[in-house]
Amino acid sequence: MTLLTKILVVSSALAAVAFAQTLEVQTSPDPCTVLNKATGAGNMTYQQVANCYKSIAFNPKDAKATIDTLTKFYDDVFVFRDLAMTPNLPSPFTLKPVDPLAELRRIGRKHYRRDFDFHGDLASFANSFQDAHVKYADKTKSGLEDCEVLSINGRAARSALQSHADTHTGFSKDAGVRFNFALASHTYWPAAKLWLDTPGMFSMRPYLPETPHIDYVLQCKDRKIHRLRKEWDILPLVEPDTFTDRATFVSNFCAHSKQKSENKPPTNDTQHRLSSPKAMAKATVMTDLVAALYLREHGQMPDPSLKDFPDAKQWAGNNTAAYQLRSMPHVGVLVVPTMEQDSKTEIPAIQGYLQQLAKNGVTHIILDMTGNFGGEEHFASLLPTVFFKTTNKATHSHKHRYRVTPAMQKLAETNLQNGMPFTDWDPRALADLQFRLYKTSSPFAKDSVHLTFNGRAATYSQWVYLDYDFNIVDQSITYPWSNDPSKIIILTDGQCGSACGMTSDHFVHTHGVRAVGVGGHQHRALSMFSFAGASVVTVDEYIDAFKSLGLEAPIQYLPYANSVSIGFRYIVSGNDTQPLEYNPKRYPAALRLDYNTDIARRHDKLWAAVAKTAWK
């Protein structure tokens, strides 16, 4: 376990910071002025960031507006409002039940002195669902890479990491996946067509860490014990002089900018309409950050010859990539680092890559979905169609339901009457169980259904499917592994989120493909995907859907720039009745691998280990 990378990312967009009047105390010098000067000099310290953040006083008026908006948003739109209260969910899930409305009530009543603490509580609340859809947002080459971390801040390393991951990541309902998320990994970088070391969420924090440094105890190859104190490196994501003091820090970064969301152009493009780029915000940020870190360290793009591994040749690659193992030439790998793909170009590209692998003797294929945080549902439906002949669109689409309120019924009806622009509640993008597109608002209005979860009742839509363009896949192209689940393996570290989980669910539960889960905890099942069971909407997107149709929105924008997103459609796997998000039996990967130094460092070795596990 190598954990010597520490980056503190200071970003208004990512950090849950505050917006408020200034505190009377501590006016001179203004800690945010001090921070800006340090940003300009390129030597910000942890303490300077902390002083500026923490100097902003709690604002009861804005806090009340925040709690009011969030309460109505969670109450009306959050599709897991009642399911989140489910107690005692079995393995591989490890999470506590949450009553979102009671939690918001508790935070709303609490007295705060600093806005920083109020927002800290809201961020913990969002993380408590362990659902990355619910969100409020240096690499030091020291010669110690081969050391084992024994302890972190005086605590056994594994338990320190797990505890951090449980509290701060909000990423998965499975503790093993949260653990993977905290650790460093590799990320395929499409722009450079090669792999980068990516710091995990323990060492790269999009918020202010609790302590200014971390104490490590390491045991290295020479068996000697090393003690190391690492200060945080601070990566400013804003230019100097973007703020000059506390007041401009607050107004430039923390206050909600209404322009931005109101100016969003309406769209009539099917692809865009059906996609959920919101789910990808995180992955986009991660990839960009990792690339930025690389360039900051090296000053130039990586050498393209590095795209091959000692044991794997890259035949082709762009947004996805195709490799063939040299030691086992019958094994090929399709790397799918994200579902945020332009299906119209990427699906034909993938079909071409796979033909090239087949031509060179590949008969068995690994689909590498590690670190894939999701993206387009459209792409999630098309990818399995490349591997399995499909005559019915419903085969690769998930049945799902929405919450239904009178406001949403009005939205659906107005959308039908006005035509433009499409919103997420437009019935014309939805199909019934025979995959006939809706021409009326009936799934939301007169046919809606009443369901009770954990003793609390709510109204939901009929089962619906999302429409997609089936003909993007050229089904006349076949490969040696076509329609043969025994020759296809999914590789996952559990960090296969959202649309990645949806596509995996089709491969595994519709077609019988096996998944190999890598990492997590020894002898414990690992989830093959996370937060697979929903599509997300932010407060702003929900409000803008109403405004775009000239309707009055049922909630107000938040006073703060924080992004708050929740699941608004729940899906089920196959003919299940239990929503996928809260159905642990759909999660465990059939096969497991533990990380060791070799496979943690080299993806070609990981692929070879997967092939040996799957096809022994």
Ligand X SMILES: *[C@@H]1O[C@H](CO)[C@@H](O)[C@H](O)[C@H]1NC(C)=O
The residues that touch ligand X, with contacts defined as CB under 6 A, are: 41, 43, 45, 268, 318-319, 342, 349, 420, 510, 574-575
State the Cα–Cα distance between residues 435 and 451, nearest whole angstrom: 23
H-state helical runs in 219-341: 246-249, 258-262, 270-274, 281-298
Question: In the complex with ligand X, which residue's Cβ is closer, 398 or 592?
Answer: 398
Least gap, CB of 10 to ligand X (angstroms)? 16
Over its C-alpha atoms, the chain yields an Rg (Å, rounded) of: 24
Least gap, CB of 580 to ligand X (angstroms)? 13
Least gap, CB of 51 to ligand X (angstroms)? 13
| CB-CB neighbours of 159 under 10 Å | 11
Question: In the complex with ligand X, which residue's Cβ is closer, 235 or 349?
Answer: 349
Cα-based distances in Å from 171 to 92, 165, 283, 369, 509? 14, 8, 12, 16, 23
Least gap, CB of 388 to ligand X (angstroms)? 13
Question: In the complex with ligand X, which residue's Cβ is closer, 306 or 420?
Answer: 420
Question: In the complex with ligand X, which residue's Cβ is closer, 319 or 535?
Answer: 319
State the Cα–Cα distance between residues 93 and 584, nearest whole angstrom: 6
State the Cα–Cα distance between residues 138 and 290, nearest whole angstrom: 10
Least gap, CB of 8 to ligand X (angstroms)? 15
State the Cα–Cα distance between residues 141 and 5, nearest whole angstrom: 9
The residue whose two tokens read 């009047």 is 21
Least gap, CB of 169 to ligand X (angstroms)? 29
State the Cα–Cα distance between residues 456 and 563, nearest whole angstrom: 27
Q: Is the dihedral of CA 34, 35, 37, 41 positive or negative?
A: positive
With a CB cutoff of 8 Å and minimum separation 6, the contacts of 414 are 549, 550, 551
Question: In the complex with ligand X, which residue's Cβ is closer, 326 or 509?
Answer: 509
Question: In the complex with ligand X, which residue's Cβ is closer, 169 or 319?
Answer: 319
Question: In the complex with ligand X, which residue's Cβ is closer, 35 or 589?
Answer: 35
The burial of 59, by beta-carbon neighbours within 10 Å (0-12 exposed, 13-18 middle, 19 or more buried), is given as buried
Least gap, CB of 423 to ligand X (angstroms)? 13
Sheet holding 7-10, edge to edge: 204-205, 7-10, 233-236
Sheet holding 364-368, edge to edge: 312-317, 321-325, 331-335, 364-368, 488-492, 514-518, 591-593
Question: In the complex with ligand X, which residue's Cβ is closer, 190 or 520?
Answer: 190
Least gap, CB of 34 to ligand X (angstroms)? 10
